[in-house]
Chains A and B, each alone.
Chain A
Amino acid sequence: GESVGLHLPTLSVQEGDNSIINCAYSNSASDYFIWYKQESGKGPQFIIDIRSNMDKRQGQRVTVLLNKTVKHLSLQIAATQPGDSAVYFCAEMWGSARQLTFGSGTQLTVLP
């Protein structure tokens, strides 16, 4: 399968612990953000999104926090499970083109 994590920042957590994945985005005009999970050999899978008029949004076991002052986004995963092991990307969107610009990704490894 595809080894997207070879040169990526890594995060290792124990099964059952909470995970926090951070992302610094580039454009202060970005108004929409998405977190994606990508497993080896697969396309990115939508996890959660947040618009710039919000600071926090919660989903099932996941929470996204947005700090526009420092252009920082974080993804919190509660009670991390082995199936959460993957590469996680944040993506931002701005302007009329509405294209997604992806960060470099973080490889999350869940230890038994």
Chain B
Amino acid sequence: DAGVTQSPTHLIKTRGQHVTLRCSPISGHKSVSWYQQVLGQGPQFIFQYYEKEERGRGNFPDRFSARQFPNYSSELNVNALLLGDSALYLCASSLDRVTEAFFGQGTRLTVV
């Protein structure tokens, strides 16, 4: 079985640009969450989607948005990129909202 897949694996963007990160959950999983991991820290929660609806949002500015598609894949969008947005962006999928979450390999975003 394929695990959680994220694309792209690495990305370099310039300040002010926008970026779209993609995530495909494990087959059968309906919940997708996004996390930001800055170097040297644990992942920080950004969004959770379940059954295509936003179910939770972390303490991130409105420049961050996401959506979940009918096939349960998800996109994370970040507008007006700042240097501080440089991080590893992780997607996690779970069967529902209360069971264990499995993470993808992440997308390494560098903003220059």
Binding site for B on A (CB under 8 A): 2-8, 32, 34, 36, 42-46, 49, 89, 91, 93, 97-105
Measured CA separation A101–B98 after assembly (Å) = 14
Measured CA separation A3–B103 after assembly (Å) = 18
Q: Is the CB of B100 within 8 A of A46?
A: yes
For A98, give its contact among B40, B56, B90, B104 (CB under 8 Å). B56
Min CB distance B15 to A, Å, is: 22
A-B pair number, CB within 8 angstroms: 68
**If the complex has contacts A97-B55, A97-B56, A99-B45, are A4 and B39 also in contact, measured as CB distance less than 8 A?**
yes
Near A by CB (< 8 A), chain B positions 87-112 give 88, 90, 92, 97-98, 100-106, 108
CB-CB under 8 A from B41, the residues of chain A are 4, 104-105
CB-CB under 8 A from A100, the residues of chain B are 33, 35, 43, 45, 92, 101
Ordered by A's residue number, 7 sampled pairs between the chains whose C-beta atoms are within 8 Å are: A2-B88, A2-B108, A5-B40, A43-B90, A89-B43, A100-B35, A102-B42
Interface size on B, residues (CB 8 A): 28
Measured CA separation A4–B106 after assembly (Å) = 14
Q: Is the CB of A2 within 8 A of B100?
A: no
Min CB distance A45 to B, Å, is: 7
Min CB distance A55 to B, Å, is: 19
CB-CB under 8 A from A6, the residues of chain B are 39-40
Q: Which of A2, A100, A104 has the most CB of B within 10 A?
A: A100
Measured CA separation A104–B95 after assembly (Å) = 26
CB-CB under 8 A from B105, the residues of chain A are 42-43
Measured CA separation A2–B106 after assembly (Å) = 11
